[in-house]
Amino acid sequence: MAGAPSEEKRVTWAELYFDLVFVFAVTQVSQLLHHHHDWTGVGQALVAFAPVYWCWVGTTVQANIRDVDSPRDRIGIFAVGLSGLFMALALPGAYGDRGALFGAGYWAARIVLFWLLWRVPGVWRGPYGVGAAVSGPLMLAGGLVDGPARELLWALGATCDLAAPFVFRRRLAKVVYHPAHLPERFGLFLLVALGESIVGIGAPLAAGRLHPAQLVSVATAFAISCALWWLYFGFASEAMRFAVETASSRRDMIRWVFSYGHLLLIAGVIAVAVGFGETVAEPGRALGVGTLGLLYGGCALYLLSFSYTRRMMFGVISPTRLAAAAVVLALLPLMVRLPALAALSALAAVLIGLNGLEHARVRRAARTPAAGPDRSEACLAPDLG
Protein backbone atom coordinates (compact mmCIF):
# COMPACT_ATOMS: atom_id res chain seq x y z
CA MET A 1 0.00 0.00 0.00
CA ALA A 2 1.17 3.52 -0.65
CA GLY A 3 2.46 5.33 2.38
CA ALA A 4 -0.38 6.90 4.35
CA PRO A 5 -0.26 10.61 5.22
CA SER A 6 -0.03 11.44 8.91
CA GLU A 7 -3.41 13.24 9.13
CA GLU A 8 -6.67 13.25 7.24
CA LYS A 9 -6.89 15.79 4.44
CA ARG A 10 -10.08 17.80 4.10
CA VAL A 11 -11.60 19.60 1.14
CA THR A 12 -10.58 23.27 1.06
CA TRP A 13 -12.77 26.30 0.44
CA ALA A 14 -10.81 27.00 -2.74
CA GLU A 15 -11.79 23.58 -4.12
CA LEU A 16 -15.46 24.16 -3.29
CA TYR A 17 -15.37 27.53 -5.02
CA PHE A 18 -13.65 25.89 -8.00
CA ASP A 19 -16.53 23.39 -8.18
CA LEU A 20 -18.98 26.21 -8.92
CA VAL A 21 -17.46 26.53 -12.39
CA PHE A 22 -18.25 22.89 -13.03
CA VAL A 23 -21.84 23.33 -11.88
CA PHE A 24 -22.15 25.65 -14.88
CA ALA A 25 -20.17 23.28 -17.11
CA VAL A 26 -22.45 20.33 -16.31
CA THR A 27 -25.45 22.51 -17.13
CA GLN A 28 -23.89 23.37 -20.49
CA VAL A 29 -23.20 19.71 -21.28
CA SER A 30 -26.83 18.98 -20.45
CA GLN A 31 -27.97 21.69 -22.84
CA LEU A 32 -25.75 20.27 -25.57
CA LEU A 33 -27.35 16.86 -25.07
CA HIS A 34 -30.83 18.37 -24.81
CA HIS A 35 -30.62 19.82 -28.31
CA HIS A 36 -29.11 16.70 -29.92
CA HIS A 37 -29.96 13.43 -28.19
CA ASP A 38 -29.68 10.99 -31.07
CA TRP A 39 -26.65 8.68 -31.13
CA THR A 40 -24.52 11.36 -32.79
CA GLY A 41 -25.50 13.91 -30.17
CA VAL A 42 -24.79 11.51 -27.32
CA GLY A 43 -21.34 10.80 -28.75
CA GLN A 44 -20.58 14.50 -29.20
CA ALA A 45 -21.73 15.31 -25.66
CA LEU A 46 -19.56 12.54 -24.23
CA VAL A 47 -16.49 13.67 -26.21
CA ALA A 48 -17.05 17.24 -24.97
CA PHE A 49 -17.73 16.18 -21.38
CA ALA A 50 -14.63 13.98 -21.00
CA PRO A 51 -12.13 16.91 -21.18
CA VAL A 52 -14.27 18.99 -18.80
CA TYR A 53 -14.37 16.09 -16.34
CA TRP A 54 -10.65 15.42 -16.76
CA CYS A 55 -9.78 19.04 -15.90
CA TRP A 56 -11.73 18.59 -12.69
CA VAL A 57 -10.04 15.24 -11.97
CA GLY A 58 -6.58 16.69 -12.60
CA THR A 59 -7.23 19.58 -10.21
CA THR A 60 -8.69 17.25 -7.58
CA VAL A 61 -5.68 14.92 -7.66
CA GLN A 62 -3.35 17.93 -7.53
CA ALA A 63 -5.19 19.18 -4.43
CA ASN A 64 -4.99 15.68 -2.93
CA ILE A 65 -1.23 15.22 -3.19
CA ARG A 66 -0.27 18.81 -2.32
CA ASP A 67 -1.07 21.33 0.36
CA VAL A 68 -3.08 23.78 -1.73
CA ASP A 69 -3.81 26.32 1.01
CA SER A 70 -1.14 28.66 -0.33
CA PRO A 71 -1.46 31.73 -2.56
CA ARG A 72 0.36 30.00 -5.43
CA ASP A 73 -1.89 26.95 -5.43
CA ARG A 74 -5.08 28.88 -4.89
CA ILE A 75 -4.25 31.08 -7.86
CA GLY A 76 -3.46 27.93 -9.85
CA ILE A 77 -6.83 26.38 -8.94
CA PHE A 78 -8.62 29.59 -9.91
CA ALA A 79 -6.70 29.70 -13.21
CA VAL A 80 -7.90 26.19 -14.02
CA GLY A 81 -11.37 27.36 -13.00
CA LEU A 82 -11.18 30.25 -15.47
CA SER A 83 -10.10 27.84 -18.20
CA GLY A 84 -13.04 25.61 -17.28
CA LEU A 85 -15.33 28.62 -17.48
CA PHE A 86 -14.11 29.34 -21.01
CA MET A 87 -14.76 25.70 -21.91
CA ALA A 88 -18.26 25.89 -20.44
CA LEU A 89 -19.02 29.07 -22.39
CA ALA A 90 -17.82 27.34 -25.55
CA LEU A 91 -19.90 24.18 -25.08
CA PRO A 92 -23.13 25.33 -26.81
CA GLY A 93 -21.09 26.08 -29.95
CA ALA A 94 -18.30 23.56 -29.38
CA TYR A 95 -19.08 21.84 -32.68
CA GLY A 96 -19.63 25.19 -34.38
CA ASP A 97 -17.81 28.49 -34.12
CA ARG A 98 -16.58 28.09 -30.53
CA GLY A 99 -14.43 25.02 -31.03
CA ALA A 100 -11.17 26.98 -30.82
CA LEU A 101 -12.22 28.52 -27.48
CA PHE A 102 -13.06 25.08 -26.11
CA GLY A 103 -9.72 23.59 -27.21
CA ALA A 104 -7.68 26.59 -26.04
CA GLY A 105 -9.42 26.59 -22.65
CA TYR A 106 -8.59 22.93 -22.19
CA TRP A 107 -4.94 23.30 -23.16
CA ALA A 108 -4.57 26.30 -20.85
CA ALA A 109 -5.95 24.23 -17.94
CA ARG A 110 -3.50 21.40 -18.64
CA ILE A 111 -0.55 23.82 -18.80
CA VAL A 112 -1.51 25.34 -15.44
CA LEU A 113 -1.83 21.89 -13.85
CA PHE A 114 1.57 20.92 -15.28
CA TRP A 115 3.08 24.09 -13.80
CA LEU A 116 1.57 23.30 -10.39
CA LEU A 117 2.91 19.72 -10.33
CA TRP A 118 6.14 19.67 -12.32
CA ARG A 119 8.21 19.19 -9.15
CA VAL A 120 6.24 16.16 -7.92
CA PRO A 121 8.09 12.88 -8.72
CA GLY A 122 6.19 10.49 -10.97
CA VAL A 123 3.52 13.00 -11.98
CA TRP A 124 4.82 15.52 -14.48
CA ARG A 125 6.35 12.83 -16.70
CA GLY A 126 3.03 10.99 -16.63
CA PRO A 127 -0.60 12.08 -17.08
CA TYR A 128 0.05 15.77 -16.48
CA GLY A 129 2.83 15.85 -19.04
CA VAL A 130 0.58 14.06 -21.54
CA GLY A 131 -2.13 16.66 -20.93
CA ALA A 132 0.21 19.59 -21.53
CA ALA A 133 2.19 18.14 -24.45
CA VAL A 134 -0.22 15.82 -26.28
CA SER A 135 -3.94 15.98 -25.49
CA GLY A 136 -4.04 19.78 -25.01
CA PRO A 137 -2.56 20.48 -28.47
CA LEU A 138 -4.89 17.86 -29.99
CA MET A 139 -7.91 19.60 -28.45
CA LEU A 140 -6.81 22.99 -29.79
CA ALA A 141 -6.06 21.54 -33.23
CA GLY A 142 -9.52 19.97 -33.24
CA GLY A 143 -11.08 23.32 -32.44
CA LEU A 144 -9.36 24.89 -35.43
CA VAL A 145 -10.80 22.45 -37.98
CA ASP A 146 -14.39 21.61 -38.87
CA GLY A 147 -16.62 18.59 -39.24
CA PRO A 148 -15.54 14.99 -38.59
CA ALA A 149 -11.88 16.04 -38.26
CA ARG A 150 -12.75 18.00 -35.11
CA GLU A 151 -14.60 15.08 -33.59
CA LEU A 152 -11.75 12.73 -34.44
CA LEU A 153 -9.04 14.96 -32.93
CA TRP A 154 -11.08 15.61 -29.81
CA ALA A 155 -11.86 11.92 -29.37
CA LEU A 156 -8.14 11.17 -29.77
CA GLY A 157 -7.23 13.83 -27.20
CA ALA A 158 -9.79 12.51 -24.72
CA THR A 159 -8.52 8.95 -25.27
CA CYS A 160 -4.94 10.04 -24.59
CA ASP A 161 -5.99 11.63 -21.31
CA LEU A 162 -8.10 8.68 -20.22
CA ALA A 163 -5.34 6.19 -21.08
CA ALA A 164 -2.48 8.13 -19.48
CA PRO A 165 -3.05 7.02 -15.84
CA PHE A 166 -3.00 3.39 -16.98
CA VAL A 167 0.02 3.75 -19.28
CA PHE A 168 2.04 5.58 -16.64
CA ARG A 169 0.84 3.61 -13.62
CA ARG A 170 4.41 2.67 -12.59
CA ARG A 171 5.42 6.32 -12.32
CA LEU A 172 2.30 7.06 -10.31
CA ALA A 173 3.32 4.39 -7.78
CA LYS A 174 5.62 7.02 -6.22
CA VAL A 175 2.73 9.35 -5.45
CA VAL A 176 1.28 9.36 -1.91
CA TYR A 177 -2.49 9.89 -1.86
CA HIS A 178 -4.75 11.04 0.99
CA PRO A 179 -7.48 8.35 1.04
CA ALA A 180 -10.27 10.33 2.72
CA HIS A 181 -10.05 13.38 0.46
CA LEU A 182 -10.74 11.74 -2.91
CA PRO A 183 -14.00 9.93 -2.00
CA GLU A 184 -15.31 13.21 -0.62
CA ARG A 185 -14.31 15.15 -3.75
CA PHE A 186 -15.80 12.67 -6.22
CA GLY A 187 -18.96 12.44 -4.12
CA LEU A 188 -19.26 16.22 -4.38
CA PHE A 189 -19.01 16.07 -8.17
CA LEU A 190 -21.75 13.46 -8.24
CA LEU A 191 -23.84 15.85 -6.15
CA VAL A 192 -23.25 18.52 -8.81
CA ALA A 193 -24.66 16.13 -11.43
CA LEU A 194 -27.62 15.26 -9.19
CA GLY A 195 -28.21 18.98 -8.77
CA GLU A 196 -28.58 19.18 -12.53
CA SER A 197 -31.37 16.60 -12.24
CA ILE A 198 -33.20 18.98 -9.91
CA VAL A 199 -32.77 21.75 -12.49
CA GLY A 200 -34.11 19.36 -15.15
CA ILE A 201 -37.20 18.77 -13.02
CA GLY A 202 -37.95 22.37 -12.09
CA ALA A 203 -36.75 24.56 -14.95
CA PRO A 204 -39.35 23.50 -17.57
CA LEU A 205 -42.20 24.39 -15.20
CA ALA A 206 -40.86 27.44 -13.38
CA ALA A 207 -42.33 30.11 -15.68
CA GLY A 208 -45.70 28.71 -16.72
CA ARG A 209 -48.98 27.69 -15.09
CA LEU A 210 -49.02 24.42 -13.17
CA HIS A 211 -51.68 21.75 -13.18
CA PRO A 212 -52.04 18.74 -10.83
CA ALA A 213 -50.62 16.16 -13.24
CA GLN A 214 -47.45 18.23 -13.59
CA LEU A 215 -47.04 18.36 -9.82
CA VAL A 216 -47.39 14.59 -9.66
CA SER A 217 -44.80 14.35 -12.44
CA VAL A 218 -42.43 16.61 -10.47
CA ALA A 219 -42.87 14.53 -7.32
CA THR A 220 -42.22 11.29 -9.22
CA ALA A 221 -39.11 12.64 -10.95
CA PHE A 222 -37.82 13.97 -7.61
CA ALA A 223 -38.34 10.50 -6.10
CA ILE A 224 -36.13 9.10 -8.88
CA SER A 225 -33.43 11.68 -8.14
CA CYS A 226 -33.61 10.87 -4.42
CA ALA A 227 -33.34 7.16 -5.18
CA LEU A 228 -30.23 7.76 -7.29
CA TRP A 229 -28.74 9.76 -4.40
CA TRP A 230 -29.56 6.99 -1.93
CA LEU A 231 -27.97 4.27 -4.03
CA TYR A 232 -24.65 6.12 -3.86
CA PHE A 233 -24.58 7.98 -0.56
CA GLY A 234 -26.74 5.58 1.41
CA PHE A 235 -24.97 2.39 0.38
CA ALA A 236 -21.84 2.78 -1.75
CA SER A 237 -19.85 5.83 -0.62
CA GLU A 238 -18.53 4.32 2.63
CA ALA A 239 -17.59 1.12 0.82
CA MET A 240 -15.59 3.18 -1.69
CA ARG A 241 -13.79 5.02 1.09
CA PHE A 242 -13.01 1.74 2.85
CA ALA A 243 -11.73 0.23 -0.40
CA VAL A 244 -9.28 3.06 -1.10
CA GLU A 245 -8.06 3.11 2.51
CA THR A 246 -7.29 -0.62 2.55
CA ALA A 247 -6.21 -1.21 -1.06
CA SER A 248 -2.86 -2.90 -1.65
CA SER A 249 -2.44 -0.52 -4.61
CA ARG A 250 -4.10 2.77 -3.78
CA ARG A 251 -3.27 4.31 -7.15
CA ASP A 252 -5.09 1.47 -8.97
CA MET A 253 -8.16 1.85 -6.78
CA ILE A 254 -8.24 5.59 -7.38
CA ARG A 255 -7.82 5.13 -11.13
CA TRP A 256 -10.42 2.41 -11.67
CA VAL A 257 -13.09 3.35 -9.12
CA PHE A 258 -12.84 7.13 -9.00
CA SER A 259 -11.28 8.50 -12.19
CA TYR A 260 -12.99 6.02 -14.53
CA GLY A 261 -15.94 4.71 -12.52
CA HIS A 262 -17.28 8.13 -11.61
CA LEU A 263 -17.12 9.27 -15.23
CA LEU A 264 -19.72 6.58 -15.96
CA LEU A 265 -21.81 7.40 -12.89
CA ILE A 266 -21.88 11.13 -13.62
CA ALA A 267 -22.60 10.59 -17.33
CA GLY A 268 -25.57 8.43 -16.35
CA VAL A 269 -26.96 11.09 -14.02
CA ILE A 270 -26.57 13.83 -16.66
CA ALA A 271 -28.51 11.71 -19.15
CA VAL A 272 -31.32 11.23 -16.61
CA ALA A 273 -31.35 14.98 -15.90
CA VAL A 274 -31.81 15.78 -19.59
CA GLY A 275 -34.56 13.16 -19.76
CA PHE A 276 -36.36 14.90 -16.88
CA GLY A 277 -36.20 18.20 -18.74
CA GLU A 278 -38.22 16.73 -21.61
CA THR A 279 -40.65 14.72 -19.48
CA VAL A 280 -42.11 16.51 -16.47
CA ALA A 281 -43.76 19.42 -18.32
CA GLU A 282 -46.04 17.18 -20.40
CA PRO A 283 -46.92 14.15 -18.26
CA GLY A 284 -49.68 12.99 -20.60
CA ARG A 285 -47.55 12.93 -23.74
CA ALA A 286 -45.89 9.75 -24.96
CA LEU A 287 -42.12 10.09 -24.94
CA GLY A 288 -39.98 9.56 -28.00
CA VAL A 289 -37.33 6.88 -28.16
CA GLY A 290 -34.57 9.47 -27.72
CA THR A 291 -35.95 10.86 -24.47
CA LEU A 292 -36.69 7.39 -23.11
CA GLY A 293 -33.17 6.38 -24.07
CA LEU A 294 -31.76 9.21 -21.97
CA LEU A 295 -34.05 8.58 -19.02
CA TYR A 296 -33.91 4.79 -18.91
CA GLY A 297 -30.51 4.35 -20.56
CA GLY A 298 -28.90 6.87 -18.21
CA CYS A 299 -30.41 5.10 -15.23
CA ALA A 300 -29.22 1.71 -16.50
CA LEU A 301 -25.69 3.09 -17.02
CA TYR A 302 -25.73 4.44 -13.46
CA LEU A 303 -26.76 1.05 -12.06
CA LEU A 304 -24.31 -0.92 -14.19
CA SER A 305 -21.48 1.36 -13.10
CA PHE A 306 -21.88 0.08 -9.54
CA SER A 307 -21.25 -3.48 -10.69
CA TYR A 308 -18.07 -2.24 -12.35
CA THR A 309 -16.89 -0.30 -9.27
CA ARG A 310 -17.69 -3.18 -6.91
CA ARG A 311 -15.82 -5.59 -9.16
CA MET A 312 -12.79 -3.28 -9.01
CA MET A 313 -13.06 -2.87 -5.23
CA PHE A 314 -13.91 -6.34 -3.97
CA GLY A 315 -13.69 -8.72 -6.93
CA VAL A 316 -17.45 -9.37 -7.12
CA ILE A 317 -20.30 -7.79 -9.04
CA SER A 318 -23.40 -6.10 -7.65
CA PRO A 319 -26.21 -8.60 -8.34
CA THR A 320 -29.21 -6.54 -7.26
CA ARG A 321 -28.12 -3.47 -9.24
CA LEU A 322 -27.25 -5.61 -12.24
CA ALA A 323 -30.74 -7.15 -12.10
CA ALA A 324 -32.33 -3.71 -11.68
CA ALA A 325 -30.44 -2.42 -14.73
CA ALA A 326 -31.76 -5.38 -16.73
CA VAL A 327 -35.32 -4.59 -15.61
CA VAL A 328 -34.91 -0.93 -16.60
CA LEU A 329 -33.65 -1.86 -20.07
CA ALA A 330 -36.43 -4.43 -20.50
CA LEU A 331 -39.06 -1.81 -19.60
CA LEU A 332 -37.71 0.77 -22.06
CA PRO A 333 -39.45 -0.52 -25.24
CA LEU A 334 -42.69 -1.05 -23.31
CA MET A 335 -42.81 2.64 -22.36
CA VAL A 336 -42.69 4.08 -25.88
CA ARG A 337 -46.48 4.45 -26.27
CA LEU A 338 -47.32 5.16 -22.64
CA PRO A 339 -47.67 8.66 -21.12
CA ALA A 340 -44.56 10.29 -19.68
CA LEU A 341 -45.95 10.03 -16.15
CA ALA A 342 -46.29 6.25 -16.54
CA ALA A 343 -42.65 6.03 -17.68
CA LEU A 344 -41.52 8.08 -14.69
CA SER A 345 -43.65 6.02 -12.30
CA ALA A 346 -42.30 2.70 -13.56
CA LEU A 347 -38.72 3.92 -13.22
CA ALA A 348 -39.39 5.29 -9.73
CA ALA A 349 -40.92 1.96 -8.68
CA VAL A 350 -37.83 0.03 -9.81
CA LEU A 351 -35.38 2.36 -8.04
CA ILE A 352 -37.37 2.67 -4.82
CA GLY A 353 -37.82 -1.10 -4.76
CA LEU A 354 -34.08 -1.57 -5.27
CA ASN A 355 -33.29 0.76 -2.38
CA GLY A 356 -35.78 -1.06 -0.16
CA LEU A 357 -34.26 -4.43 -1.07
CA GLU A 358 -30.73 -3.24 -0.37
CA HIS A 359 -31.78 -1.70 2.93
CA ALA A 360 -33.26 -5.03 3.98
CA ARG A 361 -30.08 -6.85 2.96
CA VAL A 362 -27.91 -4.42 4.91
CA ARG A 363 -30.04 -4.83 8.04
CA ARG A 364 -29.94 -8.59 7.68
CA ALA A 365 -26.15 -8.53 7.26
CA ALA A 366 -25.79 -6.27 10.32
CA ARG A 367 -27.70 -8.82 12.43
CA THR A 368 -25.33 -11.61 11.37
CA PRO A 369 -22.92 -12.21 14.31
CA ALA A 370 -19.93 -12.84 12.03
CA ALA A 371 -20.35 -9.43 10.38
CA GLY A 372 -20.71 -7.43 13.61
CA PRO A 373 -17.12 -6.69 14.71
CA ASP A 374 -15.52 -7.13 11.29
CA ARG A 375 -15.10 -3.71 9.66
CA SER A 376 -14.53 -5.17 6.19
CA GLU A 377 -17.90 -6.93 6.29
CA ALA A 378 -19.56 -3.81 7.63
CA CYS A 379 -18.24 -1.83 4.68
CA LEU A 380 -19.02 -4.51 2.16
CA ALA A 381 -22.61 -4.67 3.35
CA PRO A 382 -23.48 -1.11 2.30
CA ASP A 383 -22.51 -2.00 -1.24
CA LEU A 384 -24.23 -5.38 -1.33
CA GLY A 385 -26.31 -4.06 -4.23
Q: How many residues in total does the chain contain?
A: 385
pLDDT in tens, 49-105: 999 999 999 999 999 988 888 899 999 999 999 999 999 999 999 999 999 999 999
Which pLDDT does position 172 carry in this prediction?
67
CB 102 within 8 A of CB 138: no
37-47 average pLDDT score = 88
Residues 110 and 12 in one domain: yes
Q: Which of 324, 331, 312, 317 is nearest to 354 (CA)?
A: 324
The whole-chain average pLDDT of the chain stands at: 89
Residues 304 and 347 in one domain: yes
Residues 211 and 360 in one domain: yes
Q: Is 339 helix (H, G, I), strand (E, B) or coil?
A: strand
Residues 258 and 367 in one domain: yes
CB 173 within 8 A of CB 122: yes
Residues 24 and 173 in one domain: yes
Q: What is the largest CA-CA distance in the chain?
A: 64
Residue at which a domain ends, from 140, 160, 177: 177
C-alpha span between 150 and 278 (Å, rounded): 29
C-alpha span between 257 and 260 (Å, rounded): 6
Residues 320 and 227 in one domain: yes
C-alpha span between 118 and 130 (Å, rounded): 12
Residues 163 and 185 in one domain: no
> What is the residue-wise DSSP string for 184-217?
HHHHHHHHHHHHHHHHHHHGGGSSS---HHHHHH
Count of domains forming the chain: 2
pLDDT in tens, 211-226: 999 999 999 999 999 9
CB 33 within 8 A of CB 274: yes
Q: What is the CATH number of the domain that holds 381?
A: 1.20.1410
Domain interval for residue 5: 1-177
Residue at which a domain ends, from 156, 177, 198: 177
Residue at which a domain ends, from 177, 193, 220: 177
Residues 29 and 115 in one domain: yes
Residues 146 and 202 in one domain: no
Cα-Cα end-to-end distance for the chain:
27
Which pLDDT does position 382 carry in this prediction?
46
- Given a cut of 80, whether residue 360 has pLDDT beyond it is yes
Residues 300 and 376 in one domain: yes
C-alpha span between 236 and 254 (Å, rounded): 15
pLDDT in tens, 113-165: 999 888 776 666 778 889 999 999 999 999 999 999 999 999 999 999 989 88
C-alpha span between 105 and 132 (Å, rounded): 12
CA 6 to chain centre: 29
